[in-house]
Structure 1
């Protein structure tokens, strides 16, 4: 976003430097981190802002279903597991931020991998059903020079978000990206023919949005002023999962 000439302010868990026995004030799961994010939202100029949030997906996507235990009937998953508890907490706090954004009339967008079950989290599902207008867009991140093809989905309160979809990606195009990109997972087939997937060291990096995606957002929302990058991370894995809150 800064490459487009916009001013960028960032909230990122990696920027926080907590002292011993003190919480990271850039961590959304901490009280100070959530209040900092809320203050940023409440200081936005409603007619010139867009908030883009990528919720931590590790405890929501299908590839980890055997671990997190989430289904359409059990959207909260295995609540005895710390990383599932963390995912539920982040989903609830993102919900509160969306309520604040909707109240001030700001545009917002929440992004996830296509297989994510985050939308079935009770808190998120409730507000998405009750907001006046909610739009859904699906696109291939490979169209934005990503290192993997990756199909994504977002929910937003702005119709312009449909401009992210650049159409289908053929099998040949996906194959070409996989040849030149990174290998984010290893596939194994057991004796019964069932496939299992193991993430590689490159998997974490695929959660970062490519520059062309940020530039596309600038084109879709050219009248946004100052840009605030809000990053919602897993405190234990320090994985970047969110970008670009545009504010004035």
Structure 2
């Protein structure tokens, strides 16, 4: 329904070749742009929110942000684009399990905390973007630091299973690598899921000699004792202020981009006779609310439904409620 509202609201020109969500410093997008790929990036820091605005349109957790991200994904060149999601990992990291209460068996976490709900919402919406990118014929990747419990989340596993059903058991690949091979200030192990086997080429093997060659120690956490005498840890933010993805890593992804697109998998096959859109829409089934607990698509639908530019075709008007 959200995609329909977007197509009835905007004229969609399909010309984007690279999208980066949760871009941070945006080295991937910078390198892609320098290689003449038309690119765009999304990150909450890309928009300074004025006081008179209700929401930040670069924040995927709000209605306007997710609607804009979906719109730009629809603007991608069909069967010839890539997108990367460096999902915010703070709620899924091992250091946060004391708060989030996440584990491989309880990856949803303790939903009494706003930070847990926010992390779940961002991941579930990222899964929808992955599904849309797959259907549009794009190549995608989702990156997380080693130990992050993202890969155990029900909505993510459900999304991967759907892609397996369309493209086979090799339709989604997982790779793990050391970022120190790309001149990172810390060794930092990462993993990524992608719908192309080419993603394995970013793994440069075993990390050797890092401690000897890297004399400068980067402190990523401050240790202190609180008033009750308990040991505490606080992140310094140093890895955020430096380049999250080193330039050599971005160049490696850029060099592999054409090959990645050539070996992408998982796109559903169209039937020999494509039924009318209304017929397909009426046959859609509701998703499992236990899997999509915090995606909150109703707020996105209501946001788009109120648009003054929206023009719903007459034959569809009885199918589109005023509000959800």
> Quick one: distance in 1 between partners of 2:197 and 2:155?
23
* Alpha carbons 2:174, 2:193 under 8 Å: kept: yes
Q: 1:6 to 1:99 in 2, by over 3 A?
A: closer
Q: Identify the residue that residue 118 of structure 2 maps to in structure 1.
A: 86
Structure that is richer in strand per residue:
1
How many residues align structurally?
219
Per-residue deviation, 1:173: 1.1
Aligned to 1:230: none
Q: 1:54 aligns with which of 82, 86, 96?
A: 86
List aligned pairs for 1:55-74, cutoff 5 A. Answer: 55-74=87-106
Q: CA deviation at 1:111?
A: 0.3
Aligned mates of 2:236, 2:48 — CA distance in 1: 28
In the other structure, the counterpart of 2:257 is 221
Q: Quick check: which has more Rg, 1 or 2?
A: 2
The alignment's TM-score, normalised by the length of structure 2, stands at 0.62
Aligned to 1:205: 241
**How big is each residue's C-alpha offset from its partner over 1:157-183, in whole Å with a ceiling of 9 and x where there is no partner?**
01111111011102x314533x32522
Q: CA deviation at 1:88?
A: 0.3
Shift of 1:50: 1.3
- Tell me whether 1:29 sits opposite 2:61 in the alignment: yes
Assess if the C-alpha contact under 8 Å between 1:148 and 1:206 holds in 2: no
TM-score (norm 1): 0.80
Aligned: 1:163 with 2:201: yes
Select 1:129's aligned residue among 147, 161, 180. Answer: 161
Structure number with greater CO (CA < 8 Å, separation at least 6) is 1
Paired position in structure 1 for 2:40:
9
Deviation, 1:48, is 2.1
CA contact (8 A) 1:49 1:224 kept: no
Return closer, same or farther for 1:206/1:71 CA change in 2, 3 Å cut-off: farther
Gaps of 5+ in 2: 1-30, 165-170, 226-230, 262-324
The Cα offsets for residues 124-146 of structure 1, whole Å up to 9 and x where unpaired, read as 11111221311010100111111
